[in-house]
Structure 1
């Protein structure tokens, strides 16, 4: 049985407990043994982390000890999957650049704030993570992120939609869903999920389910000598 650790906390406005509970339900449904923790000290045992198949951070706008980030980083480099969403993964620790390097991006703005209507454009490629999923509309925060050019982009959204100092720049397609590698570990991110009702949308929940499973499979793939 695959093992997953969900660590939730930080800013309450993102409903971390409620989002973590949805993720727990999804992972349990996929046969994972899921541990839930509401303390960053869950990252303190480096050997325990390396024994997992998946780490799911649901933690926004906080500070973290460098050693804890190092433990997560080394676990992922060894093959443990890392998957999360919205500010719970890519606005977790604004002053920690290793976390941002590992996850592939960092939130910088959401012009229009919550309640912005926008479209998510799904990119169809060889990745099974978006197979059969069509473009869809969302009313939520539209995340503008600084992103790693090494990521594989699976979905985007077009800026500008809301007005702001960015609006006179040319239109840009901002990544919404992506994957990347960290060592032999698989990393998955989805910028949707301002609150639990967005994660509970069937299409968003399905994208997260696929991302969790794909990330967790990286460990066994790497161990067997297959592509991480």
Structure 2
């Protein structure tokens, strides 16, 4: 009888262990790499934009460098508030540059995560992190992706991991926060961008026209709760 009980107990223990393993196996990892600038091929996933497309004089570049500590992305350039003489565009502001990822093949699902983390080395400026999600609003004449933005202050000099809760990303329309009752759908993320403006940002951050420079090691989604 004792042998029979031992077999039953061993079977129960094995079943419990298997069930526990299956639950853990189904749970997504606590972090998910979205971008890692660990090779020169990485920059093919991005394209640059700036006010120069509308008559501004700002410029930007994106490259992958290796200064002895492995490959890193380098987003740099010059911000200008001036506008090209004779420009056909009647722009209300200039002084911005950005790097935007090409659309993912389909979308990525970040529903299991609550925070975006970026490992950066900057220049004391405030940058803007943008998440693009599938447009489910379907407003007349609004065919663009939904965009959600949050400020990222990057101290100068040292590597810094910025963590931005998804709840801090606000809905925007062409760079302006919109007053609308919208919720981000993190299960349908189409792309991301990192940009910089000559003006605005958080108090104490460097601002104004001139050079900007930020190194990027990686961008992850993490689960803190």
Q: TM-score scaled to structure 1, two decimals? A: 0.28
Q: TM-score scaled to structure 2, two decimals? A: 0.28
Q: Give the number of the structure whose alpha-carbon radius of gyration is greater.
A: 2
Greater relative contact order, per chain length (Cα 8 Å cut-off, separation 6+): 2
Q: Quick check: which one's helix share is greater?
A: 1
Q: Quick check: which one's strand share is greater?
A: 2
